[in-house]
Structure 1
Amino acid sequence: MRISLFFLVVLSSFFSFSQMGNQQPVKWKYEVEQLSDAEYKLILKGTIDPEWHVYSQFTPEGGALPTELTFEGVGVDFELLGAAQEGKTYTQYSEIFEVDETFFKNEALITQHIRLLNPEIKKIRGNIFYQACIDVCINLDEDFVFSLDGSEASLVYEEIDERSKELSSQLKLPLKNVELLQESATASQSNTGLWGIFILGFLGGLLALLTPCVFPMIPLTVSFFTKQNKSKGKGIANAILYGFFILLIYVLLSIPFHFLDSIDPEILNTISTNIWLNVAFFIIFLFFAFSFFGYYELTLPSSWSNKMDNASNIGGIVGIFFMAVTLALVSFSCTGPILGSLLAGSLTAEGGAMQLTAGMAGFGVALALPFALFALFPNWLNSLPKSGGWMTTTKVVLGFLELALAFKFLSNADLVAHWGILKREIFIGIWVLIFILMSLYLFGIIRFPHDNLKAKLSKIRVSIGIISTLFSVYLILGLFGQNQLKLLSGFPPPAFYTVAEQKSDCPLGLNCFKDFETGLAYAKLQNKPIMLDFTGWACVNCRKMEEHVWSDSEVFQLINDEYVLISLYIDDRKELPEVSQFDFQYDSGRVKKIKTIGEKWATFQAVNFHTASQPYYVLLSPELEILSAPQQYTDIETYKNWLEEGIKAYKALK
């Protein structure tokens, strides 16, 4: 399959997310033209910012997303007479999707002819969904109301605006002691997290080195630099420069996400918890897994690598750079799935785009290091193991790991959307099956297409098979409740998301509130301080904190006895009741539509606490006084002391 799945993943982050950006590149106006007593023409006029374009309703399939109009009450209050008509559009061939796309520039004009079935109807409501693009694409939608009784549109919107203002005001808290928000109680933890991502990327790069796409390139490339140069020093310098360019290439792949992060600090969380993106990751990782199993090869178009290879003949620094690009392209079938795992696993709001850069840097360092080291110490080349069946085994093992990771993304979508199809027991059961199959493969009981049937099992392979078997037993014990699987915190669904009936849908069976106003009222009634927990269904570090820190007996008792716990899930995609949906206007003038529970609490966190990371914990009095500097991912002792300090501060206030 000659397709770059990794770059499809990257592109999906630009093209597939609703409500992504700060920008409102299209300003819509809605007008009504009465044609007869029962027939009307609804007119939507959009003024498009310079250089932006919006796709037509009729842009061909296989390309960008078309504009969609939906109306409330069709077939009951009125009927549509024909399809919506459009004003001037433009058509241009898209090299990305390889289709002719139709779009609006500068102005979008859409009209819909309707006939009333209910003469009492005075307003037509609906929604327009559209994709606006410049260097990136964002998906946007807007509710509209057409007035059929001749009143001004602004009057129609007054009712909505008043409700929006009232609901918006509830998001802004009159906090006291806000100077405590400036204290960074966990700056070191953030740095530790970046180093952790760097190490994971480095380990991923080491795994990539052991694959048949990369490993044979090491002696060939090092020999080229050491033998093709007149002086040994020049050859070593070029090999080190080659390694630096490998690192640079992988770091550059993360740069676009920094632009996204600067547009909107909530955007990376939107990406990482998007339901359909997680489903897409699930499908893509299945493709990755079966490519590692040897059923097909995922390669980039050969023309790409040929062009880079030709460019590498230029010589000098430019030639060395293109040699590094060529390596990245030709090794894609092995490195692509690992990079895809790194992209999907690190791209969260917890560390912003810096997490992805740290992971890519770790991957690039691991991939580049051998070329520099073996150039400095060429005699080490003699100690390298020969290429052989062990590299095929490595790929297959990676395939099983990709398969396990695929179900993690399906679990994210399931949790965020509340589908209830991948409860904790089912998820663990699937992982048990995957690792049992991996054990059977390592013991030679099952085979894959590229395996050598006559090869003997090495001691290392058998040892890894034993480890895989022991891990399966560990999972089975967790399946039957014999342990809490703390080694896997954050990967399986939370303990309360289970087939078995639970007394509480809060972590560890604690009593918690999932609405701030309700929790605040209870705190006032009980005269207790609040522990505000900004969390997420798909937040790995949130689960680690709950299962490793909150589970400590002293910490658990403090939370349970001394605080009112309010857990706000910022990635909850369940829609708010229609009467609770509203438009929130930032001080900058930007308007954000609040339609889901997650959008409400993500905005609530950003507006009041100026952060978009999770987990994020705040201690408040019922009078909204901040009791201490907010806390994030940390250890038991630090968290316990923080809770105790909050209690002392609250008693001092009283």
Structure 2
Amino acid sequence: LFFFLIFVFFAFSFFGYYELTLPSSWANKMDSASNRVGGGLGIFFMAVTLAIVSFSCTGPILGGLLGSTALAEGDVATNLSAGMLGFGVALALPFALFAMFPAWLQSLPKSGGWMTTVKVVLGFLELALAFKFLSNADLVGNWGLFKREIFLGIWILIFLLLSLYLFGIFRFPHDSPKTKLSSLRKITGFVSVVFCVYLLSGTLQLTNLKLLSGFPPPDFYTLAEQESECPLGIDCFKDFESGRAYAEKENKPILLDFTGWACVNCRKMEEHVWSDPEVFQLLNEEFVLISLYVDDRKSLPENEQFKFKYDSGRVKSIDEIGEKWGTFQTINFNAASQPYYVMLSPDLYILHSSIQNTDTDTYEKWLKEGLQAFQTYQRNIVVSSR
């Protein structure tokens, strides 16, 4: 919710309803310091002055960068460092190039309406990302408000408004008087219209929106009635013990799927890899799928809540479903990232090394090797029992 509000705040700043600026006294102090000190330190203060003066433009972009690290998988510090490095290089590169080639300055377009258009486009993109964060909160919190069709409908509305703006149908407060639309603006508007059509086709289930895997809610989180609340309609369990009991009954290996409602890479695996016919057949017929959502904030029944004591002596209260499965993954498999797949026999023998985000061929090979290992394991049990 916090990121949703921040992104909406930045979006309306780009729309021109207010401007984000730092106190002018800060810029004046840094500017005087750069003149007074000189040398390398003076250049540093000049850079700080530039950062303060340009905050109204760069602030919302930096806010988007900070928020997007929450959507990305992997180490947050690494993602943020890489993002900040890219932002810094992109900001500094034009200044470096113009310093080396001063003649290029003459070819720069004059400031004006095009800058306003760029800011508005960024504002619409930030608004779309804001609803992605709100959708994540809805999924994790089990609110049931932003089903897949509703989310896609909101995005269609956002990009339809962007298209209307780019074609000059309406303007924002800080727009310049109506002028002839540039070719680039028309092309961008056309791309936005095409994207709206693409989203609409996904809403009507004419396409599966693979290009947006991980951004819309999963396909089973829908307004329509579903026979299965699992990816691709596969029969799955969302409780470990229930799934294990079924695996013992059917004498099938267990595929333990540590996943998350807000996990982008989990959705990509489900929509790109699991949807492959060979992989789907293996998952649906040869394995008992147990999907454990580590970010599920639904409260556990009181009789299932407990306190877990780590070897270090730290005690953690396990009150939510996601906390239970996240701790289960960390303690038993020494891992905390998702997606994370483990193959087990019904009596909990590990059949194969674990695997994470990968391609279709590797995943299919992994499943077949695990299935073969399970069959070998069963034969060995029969032989040893004689």
TM category (shorter chain) comes to over 0.9
Equivalent of 1:339 in 58, 62, 72: 62
* Residue 370 (structure 2) pairs with residue 616 (structure 1): no
> Partner of 1:593 in structure 2?
317
**2-structure distance, mates of 1:598, 1:622:** 23
Q: TM-score, normalised by structure 1?
A: 0.56
**1-structure distance, mates of 2:71, 2:347:** 33
Give the counterpart letter for 1:551 in structure 2.
Answer: S
* Residue 219 (structure 2) pairs with residue 495 (structure 1): yes
- Checking the alignment, whether the CA contact within 8 Å between 1:349 and 1:613 is kept in structure 2 is no
Give the counterpart letter for 2:141 in structure 1.
Answer: A
**2-structure distance, mates of 1:452, 1:348:** 35
* Residue 13 (structure 2) pairs with residue 287 (structure 1): no
**1-structure distance, mates of 2:376, 2:74:** 35
Going from structure 1 to structure 2, the CA distance change for 1:429 and 1:317 (only over 3 Å counts) comes to same
Give the counterpart letter for 1:512 in structure 2.
Answer: C
- Checking the alignment, whether the CA contact within 8 Å between 1:489 and 1:540 is kept in structure 2 is yes
Give the counterpart letter for 2:108 in structure 1.
Answer: L
Alpha-carbon deviation of 1:360? 1.5
Equivalent of 2:180 in 453, 456, 463: 456
Deviations 1:560-607 (A, max 9, x none): 111111111010001101111111000111111101001111111111
**2-structure distance, mates of 1:302, 1:625:** 66
- Kindly report which structure 2 residues correspond to 1:58-137, keeping only aligned pairs within 5 A, or say none: none
- Kindly report which structure 2 residues correspond to 1:174-573, keeping only aligned pairs within 5 A, or say none: 279-313=1-35, 314-347=37-70, 350-352=73-75, 353-573=77-297
Q: Structure 1 unaligned segments of length 5 or more: list them.
A: 1-278
* Residue 309 (structure 2) pairs with residue 581 (structure 1): no
- Checking the alignment, whether the CA contact within 8 Å between 1:529 and 1:621 is kept in structure 2 is yes
- Identify the range of structure 1 (566-575 vs 353-362) with the bigger mean alpha-carbon deviation: 353-362
- Checking the alignment, whether the CA contact within 8 Å between 1:349 and 1:614 is kept in structure 2 is no
- Identify the range of structure 1 (323-332 vs 420-429) with the bigger mean alpha-carbon deviation: 323-332
**2-structure distance, mates of 1:651, 1:471:** 48
Alpha-carbon deviation of 1:348? 5.7
Q: Secondary structure at the match of 1:454?
A: coil
Alpha-carbon deviation of 1:371? 1.8
Going from structure 1 to structure 2, the CA distance change for 1:303 and 1:627 (only over 3 Å counts) comes to farther
Going from structure 1 to structure 2, the CA distance change for 1:565 and 1:386 (only over 3 Å counts) comes to same
Q: TM-score, normalised by structure 2?
A: 0.94
Give the counterpart letter for 2:303 in structure 1.
Answer: V
Deviations 1:65-86 (A, max 9, x none): xxxxxxxxxxxxxxxxxxxxxx
Give the counterpart letter for 1:508 in structure 2.
Answer: L
**1-structure distance, mates of 2:125, 2:290:** 36
> Partner of 1:648 in structure 2?
372
Give the counterpart letter for 1:339 in structure 2.
Answer: L
Deviations 1:229-275 (A, max 9, x none): xxxxxxxxxxxxxxxxxxxxxxxxxxxxxxxxxxxxxxxxxxxxxxx
Give the counterpart letter for 1:616 in structure 2.
Answer: Y
**2-structure distance, mates of 1:304, 1:534:** 49
Q: Secondary structure at the match of 2:291?
A: strand
Going from structure 1 to structure 2, the CA distance change for 1:349 and 1:334 (only over 3 Å counts) comes to closer
- Checking the alignment, whether the CA contact within 8 Å between 2:72 and 2:264 is kept in structure 1 is no
Going from structure 1 to structure 2, the CA distance change for 1:300 and 1:609 (only over 3 Å counts) comes to farther
Q: Secondary structure at the match of 1:347?
A: helix
Give the counterpart letter for 2:159 in structure 1.
Answer: F
- Checking the alignment, whether the CA contact within 8 Å between 2:72 and 2:79 is kept in structure 1 is no
**1-structure distance, mates of 2:59, 2:336:** 29
Alpha-carbon deviation of 1:323? 1.9
Alpha-carbon deviation of 1:377? 2.5
- Checking the alignment, whether the CA contact within 8 Å between 1:444 and 1:457 is kept in structure 2 is yes
Cα RMSD after superposing both structures: 1.4
Going from structure 1 to structure 2, the CA distance change for 1:389 and 1:512 (only over 3 Å counts) comes to same
Going from structure 1 to structure 2, the CA distance change for 1:600 and 1:283 (only over 3 Å counts) comes to same
**1-structure distance, mates of 2:91, 2:244:** 52
- Checking the alignment, whether the CA contact within 8 Å between 2:71 and 2:264 is kept in structure 1 is no
Higher strand share: 1
Give the counterpart letter for 1:597 in structure 2.
Answer: I
**2-structure distance, mates of 1:347, 1:454:** 39
Give the counterpart letter for 2:20 in structure 1.
Answer: L
Deviations 1:439-489 (A, max 9, x none): 000000111112122321000000000000111111111111111111111
Tell me the matched-pair count. 376
Q: Secondary structure at the match of 1:634?
A: coil
- Identify the range of structure 1 (516-525 vs 409-418) with the bigger mean alpha-carbon deviation: 516-525
Alpha-carbon deviation of 1:523? 1.4
**1-structure distance, mates of 2:301, 2:323:** 13
Higher helix share: 2
- Checking the alignment, whether the CA contact within 8 Å between 1:285 and 1:406 is kept in structure 2 is yes
- Checking the alignment, whether the CA contact within 8 Å between 1:496 and 1:502 is kept in structure 2 is yes
Going from structure 1 to structure 2, the CA distance change for 1:473 and 1:417 (only over 3 Å counts) comes to same
**1-structure distance, mates of 2:349, 2:44:** 56
Alpha-carbon deviation of 1:349? 8.0
**1-structure distance, mates of 2:72, 2:95:** 34
**2-structure distance, mates of 1:603, 1:500:** 33
Give the counterpart letter for 1:645 in structure 2.
Answer: E
- Checking the alignment, whether the CA contact within 8 Å between 1:349 and 1:612 is kept in structure 2 is no
